[in-house]
Chains A and B, each alone.
Chain A
């Protein structure tokens, strides 16, 4: 029973996160104009979930968030989902293949995710057909959105990590890396350190 409860904690938090992110985006962030554009925190949240939870969870979260956006804003269904699946999956694969630990990875990831969302949306709209002339300023606008989103990427990632990290299953690779960078997590070593003893490695 407790195991089932623990297993449900992550999906529940992710559902709540997607819902709150979309709500805040549409009700507040979209209505504030910075340098003539509005920031879009949803691709950043999807990217962060992918980076923290892996490719499959990232893709599913991206699909659900995109679908919610398309439903709430009465847009063509499937367009945002398609783009966000790629963002979530790609961020998750980055974590699985490279396990990047640098603090600026979310920054670069946020920029790439925002650029992909902006350009991808433009491409799909062109494929679906546009009934009006398209200004070259569109590229400039996409660039400014990417810039604004990049500035927001780190705080958004920190917030998402804070929300879902407590319920994330422990990753053995991360445990190994932490052991390597902190000098070991063995209870014997920790006990020795508390007693003021030094290991052979550090005595050298």
Chain B
């Protein structure tokens, strides 16, 4: 009797582990249009109304818990934010001046004003679920292909780029955040030389990104290179009718304190994201490229 129980227990364990390994192997080698991915999209589609309801019902609990957590966290942020306000006030003054000048010059050369976010047909979406693991930095939003959302659409929130759409179902989408290890963005530092590199996350540190493949500045002109506090924006590109997935000049973060050796030897600096990636609850999905252009496509697979 006891032997039978032991045998049954072991058989169940082996069966479950085998099924998990088969699923893992099959899923890992599949393309996004394969059956297992379709099943996942189906489950997301079925469960998204339930999650939406649960998210609404549990909103007061979430808010209360967030209030307690934020209060504890706020004290440590006061000094840091005061310094940041000073810096931003200075930058705002400069930006206002530049904006005025830009406006006047644009009129002079008859440039259109279509580079604003509105040109990308933004769709406002509510965050209904969030992945708790440190490895998958994803959120689920309540807008899908029925609202015009497509795969790889850029997502902004909290006045900065937060990620891209990685799965779409008719009524919901999964957004991979810029801190997810599968996402990388071409970004530019707003320094004198406009250094451009690839922005990738530092896995395990949700408050830090790494801007890599930067051209090290000339040792004699180090002041023209990246400096802590400088804004980092999406680089984007536009070539005739082709446009990059991420539109240019969307703020992503600011240059953090970095080691100069790292910049000279590895061409890397640290960037702190502008958006609060753990707390944003509303996001905007940019569902269309600028009028008259189409998005560049990566080869499938």
Q: Please give the residue numbers on chain A whose beta carbons come within 8 Å of chain B beta carbons, in ascending order.
A: 23-34, 36-40, 55-56, 59-60, 63, 66-67, 70-79, 81-82, 85, 89, 118, 121-122, 125, 128, 130-142, 145
Considering the complex of A and B, which 7 residue pairs feature the smallest CB-CB distances, nearest first? A138-B204, A78-B24, A78-B23, A26-B129, A28-B58, A135-B205, A30-B130
Closest to A81 in B: B20
What's the minimum C-beta distance from A27 to chain B, rounded to whole angstroms?
4
Question: Which residues from chain B contact A67 at a C-beta distance below 8 Å?
Answer: 23
Residues of chain B with a CB closer than 8 A to A36's CB: 206-207, 278
Task: Tell me the complex Cα distance, A139–B184, Å.
Answer: 23
A34 to B71 CA separation, bound complex (whole angstroms): 11
**Would you give the shortest CB distance from A184 to chain B, in whole angstroms?**
28
Assuming the contacts A34-B69, A138-B203, asked whether A75 and B184 have C-beta atoms less than 8 A apart, the reply is: no
Let me know if B132 is at the binding interface, CB within 8 A: yes
Taking A31-B279, A134-B202, A138-B134 as given, write out 17 further A-B residue pairs in contact, using a Cβ cutoff of 8 Å, ordered by the A residue number: A26-B51, A27-B129, A28-B58, A29-B132, A31-B130, A32-B65, A32-B69, A59-B12, A63-B16, A66-B20, A77-B24, A78-B22, A85-B20, A132-B181, A133-B203, A135-B204, A137-B208
In the bound complex, how far is the Cα of B206 from the Cα of A140, in angstroms? 12
Cβ of B237 within 8 Å of any chain A Cβ, yes or no, is no
B16 touches A85 (CB 8 A): yes
Sample 12 A-B pairs with CB under 8 A, ordered by A number. A28-B58, A31-B62, A31-B281, A56-B12, A60-B16, A76-B24, A78-B23, A121-B134, A122-B135, A134-B202, A135-B204, A138-B134
Residues of A close to B129: CB separation below 8 A: 26-27, 30, 72-73
Tell me the residues in window 36-86 of chain B with beta carbons closer than 8 Å to chain A beta carbons: 36, 39-41, 43-44, 47, 50-51, 54-55, 58, 61-62, 65-66, 69
Contact (Cβ within 8 A) A59 B13: yes
CB distance from A148 to the nearest CB of B (A): 11
Residues of B within 8 A of A85 (CB): 13, 16-17, 20
> With the chains together, A56 CA to B130 CA distance in Å?
30
> If A72-B43, A74-B167, A118-B134 touch, does A138 touch B205 (CB 8 Å cutoff)?
yes
Asked if A141 and B40 make an inter-chain contact with CB atoms under 8 angstroms apart, the answer reads: no
B 1-38 to A, binary, CB cutoff 8 A, 1 in contact else 0: 00000001100110011011111111110000000100
Interface assignment of B124: CB less than 8 Å from any CB of chain A: no
Residue of A nearest to B201 (CB): A132
Across the interface, name the chain B residue whose C-beta is closest to A89: B13
Residue of B43, B208, B210 with most partner-chain A CB within 10 A? B43
